[in-house]
């Protein structure tokens, strides 16, 4: 005898599908709503094959909706399936599928068809806890993609800089010591001009002074300190067997760094052009500390669909901002959720830190947390937790954040934070 839930599911979807995606092929596990039989197949990752497969589903189920569970919310297959209006995607976290795999296969052996079947099991058994993927508008999706691709380029920049630092320490530590910020055109130009200590030592004083002034370094004292460092420094090594290979590698890394910096500039220009055209941009741009850098990231974090999150708590948990309490026997401990979109959590944490000198209550709350014994990062995350709740209400109601209004709200509630503000 079928349950009410089952009958409801049959009416809503004609079939349920679990997909284990890969680069070249995707394993499929399908179960029709009126059947208990499961069908396994392999879908090649080619546009023609995906289109033919989707067309066969449309014909077989007469255009009725088909639910698809897949362990990602982005990627080539997701983008390809989004164009079919009868396919409803239910993305799940890969960690969730991994836990189910462990439950179904205690040996932890991975088999692709099994993963597709487990995705189907999750879809059938827990669909009430899954959210259908609701694509944002093309503009928001473009902004999200720009931010994601920029993040990857920034990661490339960081890796290149770390390699540069590591290699400079082997033969040219002076260049490393001179520049605090190495991810700059100034640093690239310096190493291109003087890739070894010997070449730098042979440079004329006037040449060095002109170089620094050309790169907007006009402070006489700083210039003299750098010139003195050149005169007084001794090479770490004069062994050509070390210097020449390291020099070639550093020159190659500088070329890569210069390219990534130009790429970041192009992404920044595209983001700066697109973000202000979105309806909610001013809501985020006006936030203390947000500005043109973090406002687009915050906008994408919330999205434009007001039913995307059921509550502020749901967003806090999804972003990994809400603390997690674990206990064993008489012991318990609190930690931050690890399984979350790292870049999303980083966005909220970075922004919260920037609000401390720009918001009266944020500064007071941060110092309050530090006085209670919280470390710096823990205090920042606690502040981010509060900010998400405040910003969620502003976003939900299309109301810009008002510092005075929030302070008055604290006064009406008799918040103990006001005592900190008064000192």
| 214 CB-contact burial (10 Å; exposed 0-12 / middle 13-18 / buried 19+) | exposed
Helix (H) or strand (E) holding 403: helix 403-413
Considering the domain architecture, whether residues 339 and 411 belong to the same structural domain is answered as yes
Which single residue is written with the structure tokens 């827990």? 126
Give the residue among 59, 80, 75 at the shortest CA–CA distance from 14.
59
Give the residue among 236, 150, 160, 251 at the shortest CA–CA distance from 201.
236
396 Cβ partners below 8 Å, 6+ apart?
A: 306
Considering the domain architecture, whether residues 10 and 89 belong to the same structural domain is answered as yes
Q: In CATH, what number is assigned to the domain containing residue 48?
A: 3.30.420.40
Considering the domain architecture, whether residues 161 and 53 belong to the same structural domain is answered as no
Considering the domain architecture, whether residues 131 and 145 belong to the same structural domain is answered as no
Count the neighbouring beta carbons within 10 Å of the beta carbon of residue 174: 18
Give the residue among 395, 385, 393 at the shortest CA–CA distance from 304.
395
Considering the domain architecture, whether residues 293 and 396 belong to the same structural domain is answered as yes
Residue 8 is predicted with a pLDDT of 45
Select from 107, 135, 163 the last residue of a domain: 135
pTM of the model: 0.83
Decide if 274 contacts 146 (C-beta within 8 A).
Answer: yes
Residue 97 is predicted with a pLDDT of 80
Select from 74, 103, 135 the last residue of a domain: 135
376 Cβ partners below 8 Å, 6+ apart?
A: 370
State how many domains the chain has: 3
**What whole-number distance in Å separates Cα of residue 286 and Cα of residue 386?**
18
Instruction: Tell me phi and psi for residue 327, to 5 degrees.
Output: -140, 150
Helix, strand, coil shares, percent, the chain, to 5: 60, 10, 30
For 200-217, write each residue's pLDDT tens digit: 888 898 998 899 888 887
**What whole-number distance in Å separates Cα of residue 344 and Cα of residue 363?**
22
Residue 15 is predicted with a pLDDT of 96
Considering the domain architecture, whether residues 163 and 223 belong to the same structural domain is answered as yes
Considering the domain architecture, whether residues 328 and 254 belong to the same structural domain is answered as no
Give the residue among 175, 153, 180, 159 at the shortest CA–CA distance from 262.
153
Which single residue is written with the structure tokens 């190659």? 252
- Residue 206 half-sphere exposure toward CB, CA atoms < 13 A: 0
* Residue 1's pLDDT band (cuts 50, 70, 90): very low
Tokens of 409: 């709200």
Decide if 88 contacts 132 (C-beta within 8 A).
Answer: yes
* Residue 224's pLDDT band (cuts 50, 70, 90): confident
Residue 331 is predicted with a pLDDT of 54
Could you tell me the residue range of the domain that residue 393 belongs to?
Answer: 281-422
Helix (H) or strand (E) holding 142: helix 138-171
* Residue 110's pLDDT band (cuts 50, 70, 90): low
386 Cβ partners below 8 Å, 6+ apart?
A: 365
What single string gives the DSSP state of each residue in 286-328? TSTTTHHHHHHHHHHHH-S-TTS-SSHHHHHHHTT-SEEEEEE
Considering the domain architecture, whether residues 149 and 237 belong to the same structural domain is answered as yes
Residue 5 is predicted with a pLDDT of 44
Considering the domain architecture, whether residues 321 and 339 belong to the same structural domain is answered as yes
Give the residue among 230, 184, 191 at the shortest CA–CA distance from 209.
230
Extended strands (E) in 37-147? 39-44, 66-70, 87-91
More confident residue, 19 or 336: 19
What single string gives the DSSP state of each residue in 35-61? ----EEEEEES-HHHHHHHHHHHHHHT
Residue 107 is predicted with a pLDDT of 55
The β-bridge partners of 89 are 68
Give the single-character DSSP code of 1.
Answer: -
Give the single-character DSSP code of 19.
Answer: E
- Residue 116 half-sphere exposure toward CB, CA atoms < 13 A: 22
Q: In CATH, what number is assigned to the domain containing residue 179?
A: 1.10.287
**What whole-number distance in Å separates Cα of residue 66 and Cα of residue 21?**
17
For 369-419, write each residue's pLDDT tens digit: 999 999 999 999 999 999 999 999 999 999 999 999 999 988 898 888 877
Considering the domain architecture, whether residues 291 and 418 belong to the same structural domain is answered as yes
Residue 415 is predicted with a pLDDT of 86
Considering the domain architecture, whether residues 176 and 152 belong to the same structural domain is answered as yes
Considering the domain architecture, whether residues 365 and 249 belong to the same structural domain is answered as no
Select from 118, 135, 152 the last residue of a domain: 135
Residue 106 is predicted with a pLDDT of 56
Residue 395 is predicted with a pLDDT of 96
Average pLDDT of the residues of the chain: 88
């Amino acid at each position: 005898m079928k349950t009410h839930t089952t009958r409801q599911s049959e009416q809503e979807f004609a079939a349920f599908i679990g997909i284990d995606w890969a680069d070249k092929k995707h394993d499929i596990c399908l179960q029709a709503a009126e059947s208990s039989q499961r069908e396994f197949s392999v879908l090649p990752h080619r546009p023609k094959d995906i289109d033919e497969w989707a067309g066969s589903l449309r014909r077989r189920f007469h255009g009725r909706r088909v639910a698809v569970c897949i362990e990602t919310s982005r990627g080539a297959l997701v983008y390809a399936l989004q164009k079919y209006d009868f396919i409803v995607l239910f993305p799940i976290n890969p960690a969730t599928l991994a836990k189910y795999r462990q439950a179904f296969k205690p040996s932890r052996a991975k088999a692709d068809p099994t993963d597709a079947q487990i995705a189907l099991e999750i879809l059938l058994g827990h669909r009430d806890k899954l959210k259908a993927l609701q694509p944002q508008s093309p503009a928001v999706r473009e902004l999200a993609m720009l931010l994601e691709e920029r993040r990857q380029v920034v990661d490339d920049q960081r890796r290149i800089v770390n390699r540069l630092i590591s290699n400079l320490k082997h033969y040219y530590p002076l260049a490393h010591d001179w520049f605090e910020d190495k991810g700059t055109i100034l640093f690239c130009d310096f190493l291109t001009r003087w890739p070894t200590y010997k070449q730098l030592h042979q440079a004329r004083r006037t040449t060095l002074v002109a170089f620094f002034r050309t790169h907007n370094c006009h402070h006489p004292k700083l210039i003299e300190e750098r010139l003195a460092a050149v005169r007084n420094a001794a090479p770490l090594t004069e062994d050509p067997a070390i210097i020449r290979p390291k020099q070639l590698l550093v020159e190659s890394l500088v070329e890569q760094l210069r390219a990534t910096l130009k790429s970041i500039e192009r992404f920044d220009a595209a983001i700066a052009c697109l973000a202000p055209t979105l309806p909610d941009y001013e809501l985020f741009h006006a936030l203390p500390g947000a500005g043109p850098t973090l406002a687009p990231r915050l906008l994408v974090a919330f999205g434009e669909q007001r039913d995307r999150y059921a509550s502020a708590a749901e967003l806090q948990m999804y972003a990994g901002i809400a603390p997690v309490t674990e206990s064993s026997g008489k012991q318990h401990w609190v930690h931050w959720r690890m399984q979350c979109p790292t870049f999303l959590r980083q966005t909220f944490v970075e922004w919260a830190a920037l609000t401390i000198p720009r918001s009266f209550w944020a500064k007071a709350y941060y110092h309050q947390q530090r006085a209670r014994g919280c470390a710096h990062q823990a205090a920042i995350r606690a502040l981010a937790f509060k900010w998400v709740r405040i910003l969620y209400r502003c976003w939900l109601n299309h109301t810009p954040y008002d510092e005075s209004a929030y302070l008055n709200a604290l006064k009406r509630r008799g918040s103990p934070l006001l005592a900190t503000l008064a000192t």
